[in-house]
Chain A
């Protein structure tokens, strides 16, 4: 087994996704501890141009697999390319981002390669010669420390917004290793028939630094407009707890919580959300939490860094105006 730490790069619209930068940053730190290199694995069609950015963000080596059948993620194609490569090169650890594709692929690889696999990792460390991760469990009521066996491949699927992306170093150019791809279309048993963007103007929730989120206290779908305004002023993404989704006020992709997304933003503003455990499970990892609720007994206040007991219909417009003033002053 080598001492290298690998990162599976994900990309969209010609650039690596932010989570890839986060993982590369962590991989650098781990590789230093191990005395190895950082390699990034990128698959796509015409993906060579990504190597520069991957190098700048920490990759010493970029394994590049370019092929028309890799233009979009499919389980069979990506597994067929990655599995033999990993089996041959034997990296110490493979980091995969917890994205739709990452979660789809990682268990497949782990089963094929009989690798150790841990998902939803919120920390990846080396402890007495073992790779140890921590991950939340039981609706975030417990944190598990999980260790990998030392013999055999190790795969960790890492949550977004856990590690900070490193600053880009343009001087760092990676060694690019082309990976020959012999793929037969008949071996790929799924086909992407279409991708329809969900018409949301903001960053996906799982990648957002700031999230403004609404619950039952908003009383109706039309009041999400108040959150949209605050979010625009902040450059934030908009989410919700479960009740607005169940009531049909917002689509399911807004949902944060046990049956929705887990988010780790720097700032989470919870408006009219009571703070049931199922919701906290999705956002209690946020660095700072602001809660606005008219009920002083709402459980959300027990996790909030700053709480306002008040009428959100009064508070939100005032807050939006104040943020706009601040941003104007900062820009001027």
Chain B
């Protein structure tokens, strides 16, 4: 099976961030970037399928130079090939435009299955996966916790409100994965060495046959970033447990009015 996995490099969620002075983004200096957590599960799923059925795993990313590290990490896990779409025109791209570009990079690969993480932890947008499916004209399944391959179709599990849905999807398809679908492996040292030796194919928009006019405008624009609203300083209730509990219930009823 030829499997394509889309990956993204994102800031480490552990680290604090600083909003830029102009409010249009975050300060990148001093940030640690890591592969998107959900993408690691997507790569792992692809590798497991390859180990069972044979085939190749190709990684694709779009972004600035540092995005290649997400590719290296996936190659070190065991992926075979990597494509890095890099073009200044992408700086201003919204998710739909980005998906259009990624679809153009993926289309020639004749993938039997395209996997993505269900969302990226920097913006939590969860847009690119299904949008790629639309641009490729493929069926989709999102936030999948289990994936089983059959003949020409896959059976997946999805968590919906209060239930688990079992969905059959005909292949080829785009599937976005939820955590819990697998446990991602650590890259081994030989894997890291192999990744170092594997050339990454770099593509510009022109290489993909896309001119600036082909993408269409970005239809959403970031006006500004602000820190989250400071919560009002709360109160610590002190005293004997029974008294503290009684006081809490009183406050919830009379002050917060939630009971």
Contacts and interface: CB of A to CB of B under 8 A. Distances in A.
Interface stretch (B58-66, B70-78, B197-205, B223-231): B223-231
A316 B64 CA distance: 51
A126 B139 CA distance: 35
B92 interface: no
A103 interface: yes
Contacts of A196: 163-164, 166
Contacts of A209: 258
A284 to B, nearest CB: 7
Contacts of B219: 114-117, 148-149, 152, 154
B94 interface: yes
Contacts of A308: 236-237, 244-245, 248
Interface residues of B, number: 84
A210 B135 contact: no
Contact of B140 (A12, A104, A120): A104
Residue picked from A107, A147, A204, A323, most chain B C-beta under 10 Å: A107
A70 B118 CA distance: 24
Contact of B94 (A116, A120, A193): A116
A190 B130 CA distance: 14
B98 to A, nearest CB: 11
Contacts of A152: 219
Nearest to B125: A119
A301 B234 contact: yes
Given A107-B129, A288-B256, A310 B244 contact: yes
Interface in A275-308: 277-278, 284, 287-290, 296, 301-308
Contacts of A210: 258
A278 B16 CA distance: 11
B126 A252 contact: no
Given A138-B17, A192-B166, A318-B242, A103 B226 contact: no
DSSP class of A's interface residues: helix, strand, loop or mixed?
mixed
A146 B168 contact: no
A264 B211 CA distance: 43
A289 to B, nearest CB: 7
B189 interface: no
Contact of A108 (B130, B161, B228): B130
Nearest to A285: B228
A149 B179 CA distance: 34
A185 B3 CA distance: 27
Interface string A90-131: 000000000111011111101110111111100000000000
A107 B226 contact: no
A232 interface: no
Interface string B70-91: 0000000000000000000000
B259 interface: yes
B170 interface: yes
A7 B235 CA distance: 40
B2 interface: no
A260 to B, nearest CB: 8
B151 to A, nearest CB: 15
A302 B242 CA distance: 23
A88 interface: no
Nearest to A191: B168
A147 B143 CA distance: 27
A43 B134 CA distance: 21
A107 B131 contact: yes
B36 to A, nearest CB: 11
A95 to B, nearest CB: 15
A304 B246 CA distance: 18
B185 interface: no
A332 interface: no
B17 A266 contact: no
Contacts of B251: 306
A328 interface: no
A182 interface: no
Nearest to B141: A190
A143 B228 contact: yes
A108 B241 contact: no
Given A111-B99, A117-B95, A141-B227, 14 more contacts: A107-B95, A117-B220, A138-B13, A138-B123, A139-B121, A141-B16, A144-B123, A149-B219, A189-B173, A190-B167, A191-B168, A196-B164, A267-B258, A289-B231
10 contacts: A107-B127, A108-B130, A111-B99, A111-B130, A119-B127, A135-B124, A137-B225, A142-B226, A194-B165, A267-B252
Interface of B: 11, 13-14, 16-17, 19, 26, 37, 94-96, 99-100, 121-131, 133-135, 139-143, 145, 155, 158-170, 173, 179-180, 216-229, 231-232, 234-238, 241-242, 244-246, 248-249, 251-253, 256, 258-259
